[in-house]
Structure 1
Amino acid sequence: MKVILTILILLFFVEAFSQNKENDSIYFKYNENYILFYENFKNLNYKEFERRVLQNISKTKTEGYFILKKTDTLYNLNPKQIFDLKEYVENRAFYYSGTYNKTINKDLLKEKIFNKYKVFIVKNNTFITIRQHPFENFYNSYYPIKYEDKNKYPTQLKDTLYLKYNKKYLIEKIHPYENYTYYYFKNSGNNGSFFLKQKIFH
């Protein structure tokens, strides 16, 4: 009787573990323009990398992309649902606040997906596992882009943020040769400087 009871208890825990393992997994369909693997572009020269970036932006219409590192490939899994990663992530829930803002909150992304689930990328009936470290950067932003031909990519729509000038925190300077005005935060050297493009009076 004790042996039967022990077996039943073991079966119960195995079943519970299996259900929990399934619930803690999430599956995303592979998108070659939105999901990049290190292995696919680590040997590209910059010109080819730029070409691919511009191609991806034109297709995804997003401000960034996922960069993932493969750890293993599994087979014969049977997920109940496979999500589209772009549709799952590119929405107001994962963006910083702002009417036009489409910048992903990376900390929220980690909390809600990569630190919560075992992530699988589904490609041609294979299931790719990825490295999931708490400090891993899974999402990279395209911006700011500093390409020579600025007509190659669309202009970003931006929200407006107003900063009140306070000489206690900001230092105002005029460039000695080019005569433009710029500001930078105290105790930062010239790091974190920003430039006055246009004055608007009310």
Structure 2
Amino acid sequence: MKIFFLTTLFFFISGLKAQKKKDTLFFNIDKYYTISPTITSNLSQKTYWDKVEYEKEQIKHTKTNGYVFFIGDGFLTKGLKPKIILSIKDFIENRKFYLDGKYNKIVDERKLQDSLTNKYTIFFVNGDEFISPRQLLYYSYFPIRQGDKSIENKMKDTLFFKLDNEYVYKSKDLNNGSSIYLIKDSSKSEVFYFQELERINNLKPNEILSLKKYVRASRFYNENDLHKLSEVYFMKFLKDYVIYLTSGKNEYIKVEPFTVMED
């Protein structure tokens, strides 16, 4: 019994030592960049078009692709003495939080989670009050609805994938003359596919990637799972890139990713 107690105590103490105390970051509240029902009352009662008009003001003032939305944990702390209060806009709009690529200005939610919300204890400073977020998310403005149309974010990097006709292959032609392309790792119940948008010649890609290697090296693929590829999340990820398939014959097929549920 004594040995069991000492063993349990040893592992308990070891576990406490292994837990690293998080550093604390203090951020200012920006009227146009930091949106929260904790700060702004009746936020949930605004109509869709009220939100659209407000987002136009946000874009005008911040010139960014999105904003921070957070919900406080229900407690207002006082008496803290931060050495420095950071701009969360400047902190997030750092290349390390963007999707991979030279031109992308789209925040990668996973990178933000790993390098900010899971890594630090966060407080927003509102006068002499300190608000710790229970939930913190980054929302993109895009696509922006304008009448019957939607405006997409044009600041995207381009990915070129080899159309090898083995891993990625043409499935069928549509009545409008475009084609559908499937990939082997797609499941039967949740199908991932590319739809052709247009064909272009004489592009000069720096690199043509293997789609098979790209998929299986991504965080959306798990070899040990029965359902190996998270099709929907992978599709959403690729939506933030311009995608071309090419067989290497100086013809490039611009495609868009989609998913569909099959019965």
1:39-54 equivalences in 2 (<5 Å)? 40=40, 41-54=43-56
Deviation, 1:192, is 4.6
1:163-174 equivalences in 2 (<5 Å)? 163-168=161-166, 169-174=168-173
Alignment equivalent of 1:107, drawn from 99, 105, 110: 110
Amino acid at match of 1:64: G
Counterpart in the other structure of 1:14: none
Deviations 1:118-151 (CA, angstroms, capped at 9, x unpaired) = 111112232111105xxxx621222333433779
Counterpart in the other structure of 2:140: 141
| Alpha-carbon distance in structure 1 between the residues aligned to 2:147 and 2:161 | 30
**Structure 2 alignment gaps of length 5 or more:** 1-19, 203-249, 251-263
Higher strand content, 1 or 2:
2
Amino acid at match of 1:196: L
Give 3-state SS (helix, strand or coil) of 2:102's partner.
coil
1:57-136 equivalences in 2 (<5 Å)? 57-71=59-73, 72-132=75-135
Deviations 1:56-109 (CA, angstroms, capped at 9, x unpaired) = 122222222111111222222211110000111101122222121112222222
Q: Percent identity?
A: 30
Amino acid at match of 1:37: S
| Alpha-carbon distance in structure 2 between the residues aligned to 1:56 and 1:192 | 35
Farther off after superposition, 102-111 or 36-45: 36-45
Instruction: Say which structure, 1 or 2, has more relative contact order (CA 8 Å, 6+ apart).
Output: 1
Contact 1:96 1:105 in 2 (8 A): yes
| Alpha-carbon distance in structure 1 between the residues aligned to 2:92 and 2:100 | 15
Counterpart in the other structure of 1:161: 159
Farther off after superposition, 137-146 or 180-189: 180-189
Q: Normalising by structure 1, what TM-score?
A: 0.72
Q: What RMSD in Å do the two structures reach over aligned CA positions?
A: 2.9
Q: How many residues align?
A: 175
Amino acid at match of 1:95: Y
Residues 46, 182 of structure 1: alpha-carbon distance in 2 compared, 3 angstrom cutoff:
farther
Give 3-state SS (helix, strand or coil) of 2:97's partner.
coil
Amino acid at match of 1:181: S
Deviation, 1:166, is 3.4
Farther off after superposition, 85-94 or 52-61: 52-61
| Alpha-carbon distance in structure 1 between the residues aligned to 2:117 and 2:149 | 34
Deviation, 1:43, is 1.9
Counterpart in the other structure of 2:198: 197
Amino acid at match of 1:51: E
Give 3-state SS (helix, strand or coil) of 2:96's partner.
coil
Alignment equivalent of 2:178, drawn from 173, 178, 181: 181
Give 3-state SS (helix, strand or coil) of 1:32's partner.
coil
| Alpha-carbon distance in structure 1 between the residues aligned to 2:145 and 2:196 | 17
